[in-house]
Amino acid sequence: MFTYVVKGIGLIAGISQVVAGAATVISSRGRNVAGYLLVSHGVNNIYENGYFIINGEDDTGPVRDLYRVIANKAGYDSRIADIAYGGVDLALSVHGLFFTKKLVSDRRSLMNYEYGPDTLRLFRALDSEFVMAIKQMGKLSLSLEILGDSVTISGIWDNL
């Protein structure tokens, strides 16, 4: 039963990775590599965890398989590839939490529908108008992020 809870957390984490990655790609007009990595890892996590929930057995997704092929070509085994996969997964999470900054608009500019949103902003946003993503997360989303990262850390630990 506990395994299904862990896989459910992984499934939810995968969905949030796809959503966050897609938003990153769209907002960067396709120039942010981390967004593409988030989407690929998210789709892979959805596949692996969803497969287990539906079929009751583990299966590896195409992204993890790619890590394993690269590791095998470099002379390492699948265990090292799984550690690398988990490490990239955690790095993407840390990047999203601490290095992604979101624009916090001035209340007046958002509410000024007469001239459209952000009409008071000249040219570009100032650095003071950006806030780290972790500071804007709600308790539920931050808790899910921490749970997902805990599952990833546990997976890495099992391969050490």
59 or 114, greater pLDDT: 59
Query: Are 36 and 55 within 8 A, CB to CB?
Result: no
Note the pLDDT of residue 67.
94
Give residue-wise pLDDT tens across range 107-129. Answer: 444 444 444 454 455 445 545 55
132 or 75, greater pLDDT: 75
Q: Work out the burial of residue 9: count CB atoms within 10 Å of its CB; fewer than 13 is exposed, 13-18 middle, 19 or more buried.
A: middle
Note the pLDDT of residue 64.
94
Cα-Cα end-to-end distance for the chain: 25
91 or 98, greater pLDDT: 91
Cα–Cα distance between 53 and 7 in angstroms, integer? 7
Quote the pTM value. Answer: 0.70
90 or 43, greater pLDDT: 43
